[in-house]
Structure formats: structure tokens, C-alpha cells
Chains A and B, each alone.
Chain A
Amino acid sequence: MPKPFAVATIALLAGLTFSPILCAQTAAPAQPGKAKGDNDKWNSDPYNGNGRNHPAIYNAGKSAPPPRRDLSGIWDASTGGGVQAGGAAAHPAQYPGDRPGSEAELKRFHGEAPDENGIEHPVPYTPLGEAALEANKPSGQSIRAVPSVLANDPVDICEPVGFPYLENFEFLTIRLAQTKNQVIYLGQYFHNWRVIWTDGRELPKDPKPRWNGYAVGHWQDDYTFVAETVGMNEKSWIDHAGRPHSKDLRVTEIFHLVDHDTMEHTEIINDPKMYTEPWMAHNKLILHREPPDFDIREMFCSPSETAGYNNIVGEPINPQKK
């Protein structure tokens, strides 16, 4: 992982709680002792704080009913397991019983497994899919992980993260907003946006590949929004375990509002070239609503920073550079 992302993530996860006061429209009071400016209102931290606060804090009060046909808000996925360093949340490339101190964890630490045999929730590869998987060399916390100098994860060189990778790794905070014909989706990781069209247009046939694809959505019921995305650039991975996809990939997302403060996100991967049947990358992954004044920390990938980091850290451990 490039250093700037690592730093930002650590900062994010190390965040403390702050007051969940909803205070739109009011100017901050002047604070004695502070110079000019209002830094406390910026770079907000989600509640979870790296385990310092139990996720139950989100449910501590009685949550109001969900709004009807309205996903808009600022949503945090990190508490629900959005980081996904071992692969997509519902199918991490990890052995059964992988807990801190477990044998399965030790086995995973060893890494460099040739394939995903024996993982707890196997993915249904076709022979082509299996071959494509083996060409992808992940770092991170999957059983096939290699040392980062040997990895070929596109995001490590700041290739666009693309969809659905942007929600299968470092799925932290997103901003959703609705216009009359779109759902606007602002992602924290890589700072990219997506538009999910709700104007009834059909998905394109044989589109020119895009990193984030072409997306349409509709309300299935008053609390369930379903998005379909096609036309993704096959250079991107599906997740941090290096799961591959072809340009025929179709992704179904189900955004379900449970109550005012809770949304479940389900993501289904359908790519018959690589997988014999559709499989769930997310199965009701929980997103928590953040207050409306929550300011999302910025996370960009910068090749010049990555190069600087590699000069410091990468080269001393790579004897070939000597």
C-alpha cells in the first residue's frame, strides 16, 4: 500500500469520537486561544476509532425509521469491515478460523499460497478465472499475499482503483446524494466519483471500457435501491486478494435502508468468463450514517509520493538495487 494511503488510513482508524451534533447552518462559535480558522470542523473521524469505541455506539439510541427512497447522506463502512485487506468482505482469501493468534492466521502470514484451496468461503473460479487469479500477485492479508516488492496490484502504482474495487478495499466513508435523475456517489479512497443514473436509461451494449463502468439504478421498494454496473476496464482487480474480472463483468449492488442510521450493502459479482456462478462480495455489509457536518478526509494516490516512499523503504530491502 502506498505510504500516503497507509498514513491516511491509520489516521482515520485512530480517530476519536466527536459529538454527533447535527449542526447545519450555524457558524462555529469563536474559540478563545485559537488563532484564526476552525480546524475542528474539518477532517472528521468516524466513530469506530480502531476498536476504541464499540460499533454498538451507533445503535445506542433508538434510531428513527429510514427515510423513504432516499440514500443521501455520509456513510461509514469502516466499522462494518470495509477495509477488507484480505479480500472482499464476504469472501476473504483466508483459512477457516483465522483469528488473532490462531494457526490459520499463522498460515496466512506465511503467504504465497499458489491458489485459494482451503479458504473458508471459496470463490467459484472457471479454469480461465483460476489462471487470471494466479497472474495477479496481491500484497495485503490474503493467503496468496507476496512481499510488496513482488506484488503487481495496480493500485500500488496509482492506477485508478476502479469499480467495484473501490468498495472491496478501503471502503471507508462515502457521500451519497440524489438528484432527480442520478445517485451521486463520492468515494473517499482515491477521491473519485460515480454517477448511478435513475432516469430509466438502459445499460449500454458493448461499451467502451471505463474504470468505473456504466451504472443505472432503481428503487425496488421504498427502502431498497438496486444498481447495475457494466463496462468495467479489465485492468482493475475486484479486490485486494487479486480476484480478476473480464470486461463482461456485471455487478449488482443492493443498498437497503434498515433504519435512519443504518444501511446494508450487498454486492454481487457476475462474470461467467471468470466465475461459474455469481458470488457475493458483500452480504449486507453495514454502513453507518455519519452526521451531516462530517468532513471526509482526503485520500489521493500520488505516484511522486509513492516513489519517495519506495526510495526510502523499498530500496534498502531490495539488494538488486545496490
Chain B
Amino acid sequence: MQKRFVVSAIVLAALSAISPFLYAQSSGANGVATNTIPKWEDALPKKAAYAGTAKRPAPRRDFSGVWNGEAEGGAQANGAFEHPAVKTGRPAADRGGQADEKDIARPLPYTPAGLAALQANKPTVGVRAVGSSLQNNPVDICDPVGFPQLDLFQFRVVEFAQAENQVLALYQFSDTWRIIWTDGRSLPNPDNAEPRWNGYSVGKWVDDYTFVVQTNGLDERTWLDHAGRPHTSKMKVEERYHLVDYDTLELTVTIDDPEYYAQPWQALNKFVLHRLPDSFDMQESLCSPSAIADYKKIIQNVISPPGK
């Protein structure tokens, strides 16, 4: 499954500090603002590529651009970055065998209902891992990834664009998008909002370099992360995007779901996203049920060849 969601990467160009908004294009052919030659299917730079690079000042109220989540661990294969479902330092040795998350390094504050919901979700990773024939991760049958799992699993490349009344977010994983309204509207009433896989989002600048997003109305069929952390449709998620400098964006994600968690908890805490060139072309990462069926056929045939 994860093979299908492979990725790649790189660099950038200066936006006008005056106009963070999208605008009319002056020309079709001379818009190249980088000194790199635009190409396709770019490869993602690793963390080391960012060491020691010069820091330029952050633009004011503008985080538009293409951002690399891969370099600092956005794949989050064992669960949300701040709370992977593993014991200290030995993810391979810790794999599987537990009914709950006892003794993981950074435990979550489950309520009894939250713990019961967790146990119904059967992941393939972490201390609760089960064999692939027993797992029930919705993403593995191409159900929508949904928010906030978009931030908490295979968080490799995301592009943000700002319009006058919206921020547009384009995620590489599953080729899906979100719109974050900045026109001052309030969130829908969670008691009767029709659930959405990506929820309902509003955002605002709390200072010139910090954009805060609130999301509710989320479909409770999605998992929060690859370790099967559950949520209800009453969950509220806060994302805090903070521009440290031109090339660095920190994201903090806070999960607030009192039915399942006794306190709000941070799934990402100042998780670092590095700016990529604005000519960066994301590799496509779409889930295909027929490709999964083909893959399973091959694996199953290896394990138990037909006719044997």
C-alpha cells in the first residue's frame, strides 16, 4: 500500500511581500521566478539538504508555497509524530502483541470510550500491530484519508495558496484538497453539521507570522493516524502554522475530542516544514482499489501459490 504513495522534491522563488493573494497572470510563458529549470516529478530533498542554509525573513501574513513535510518525518508510519505507538527507541522490537498502548513512550489520555474505540481499530504498525489479513485500516481499501490524518500520515508535500477569502491546501497524499475560509464565517454547529471527510475549516492570522485554523464536522469513520487512533464527529482540531523564516514553517496540531481523550493533546508540536521551490511538481499519489487487488494477488500467490 505505501509503495503506491511514493514521493519526491525541491526549491523556490520569491513572492511579493506586498500581495499574498492570488492574482491575474501577466503572461503564459515567462513566469519562471527561479533559477532552476522547471521539470516534472521532482525528488524531495532530505533533511541534511537544509542544514546550514541562510535564513531569509518570513513574509508577512503569507505562507503560500509548496512545503516539504517528508524531510522531518512526515510519513509518521507508527502514528502521529508526537505520539508514535511504540516504546522508547525500539519500534521494530515493539511491534505487535499488545491489546492496548501500555508502556508506549508518549501515551495518550484515552477515556474508557476512547480506549474501546482504539481497540476496534486494527493497525499494521506499533505495539498493537496485527497481520495484514486482520487489519481494518480504512485507508488500505481506499476510503478517503480525511482530516487530520492528512497531516498525520504520509504528510510529505502540501501546497498552500491564499485568496482574498480562503486558503487553499493541496495535499500530495490522495490528491485531495481543503479550503480554509478566512472571511470571518463561524464553524457550523457540530450538533447538526453533515459530517465531511475533510471537515469544515476557518482560519485567521493571530499575528503577522501565525495562522490558526479550526476544523470541525469530521467524519468519524476516519482514523487520526496510522496507529488507529480514533475520534468522534464532535472532535475539534486546531492547526497553528507559524512562519519562522522564509523557508521554515512550523505546524502544531492539537486534537480536542473530550469523548475519547481526557485532555486535548498535540499530534504535531512545531513540526518543521521546509519550503520547496514554487516550480516543484508533486508526484501523483492516488489510491486505486484495482492496484491494491493486483498487489494482494501477487502477495497471496507468493505466500500460498494457486493450486497448492
Q: A residues engaging B (CB < 8 A)?
A: 23-28, 34-39, 41-43, 67-70, 72, 154, 157-160, 175, 177-181, 184, 186, 191-193, 195, 197-201, 204, 207-208, 210-212, 214, 217-219, 235, 292-293, 295-296, 298, 300-304
Contacts and interface: CB of A to CB of B under 8 A. Distances in A.
Nearest to A30: B186
A116 to B, nearest CB: 26
B278 interface: yes
A26 B28 CA distance: 34
A42 B193 contact: yes
B176 interface: yes
Nearest to A176: B22
Interface in B170-193: 170, 175-177, 179, 181, 183-193
Contacts of B15: 180
B261 interface: no
Contacts of A178: 22-25
Given A198-B25, A218-B29, A27 B191 contact: no
B22 to A, nearest CB: 5
A38 to B, nearest CB: 4
A34 B189 contact: yes
Contacts of B200: 42
B187 A38 contact: yes
B38 A200 contact: yes
A154 B289 CA distance: 9
B161 interface: yes
Nearest to A210: B284
Interface stretch (B88-96, B114-122, B135-143, B250-258): B135-143
Contacts of B32: 181, 199-200
B165 A293 contact: yes
A303 B183 contact: no
Contacts of B138: 304
Nearest 4 CB-CB pairings of A with B: A37-B189, A218-B28, A27-B184, A70-B24
Contacts of A208: 41
A104 B33 CA distance: 56
A212 B172 CA distance: 13
Interface string B192-215: 111011101000000000000000
Given A25-B183, A302-B144, A304-B141, A200 B170 contact: no
23 contacts: A27-B184, A35-B189, A67-B24, A69-B26, A70-B24, A154-B290, A160-B286, A180-B278, A199-B38, A200-B29, A201-B279, A211-B175, A211-B286, A212-B284, A214-B40, A217-B28, A218-B28, A219-B28, A293-B165, A295-B179, A295-B181, A298-B196, A300-B197
Interface in B219-252: 221
A15 B287 CA distance: 31
A180 B165 CA distance: 18
B196 A193 contact: no
A177 B142 CA distance: 28
A192 B24 contact: no
B39 interface: yes
Contacts of B284: 210-212
A175 B168 contact: yes
Nearest to A208: B41
B154 to A, nearest CB: 16
Given A186-B177, A295-B181, 13 more contacts: A24-B165, A25-B183, A42-B188, A67-B24, A158-B289, A160-B175, A160-B288, A186-B168, A193-B177, A195-B281, A198-B25, A211-B288, A302-B143
A26 B184 contact: yes
A37 B141 CA distance: 34
Nearest to B175: A192
A192 B176 contact: yes
B177 A177 contact: no
Interface string B147-158: 000000000000
B64 interface: yes
A302 B143 CA distance: 5
Contacts of A218: 28-29
Contacts of A207: 40-41
A84 B29 CA distance: 34
A177 B26 contact: no
Contact of B176 (A38, A69, A193, A293): A193
Nearest to A200: B29
A156 B96 CA distance: 35
A120 B64 CA distance: 48
B163 interface: yes
A25 B184 contact: yes
Contacts of A154: 290
Nearest to A305: B143
Contact of B183 (A26, A181, A212): A26
B13 to A, nearest CB: 8
Contacts of A214: 40
B100 interface: no
Contacts of A293: 165, 183, 185
Nearest to B190: A37
A180 B168 contact: no
B2 interface: no
A192 B290 contact: no
A197 B288 CA distance: 25
Contacts of B198: 191, 298
A31 to B, nearest CB: 10
A38 B185 contact: yes
Given A212-B284, A300-B144, A23 B29 contact: no
B53 interface: no
Nearest to A25: B183
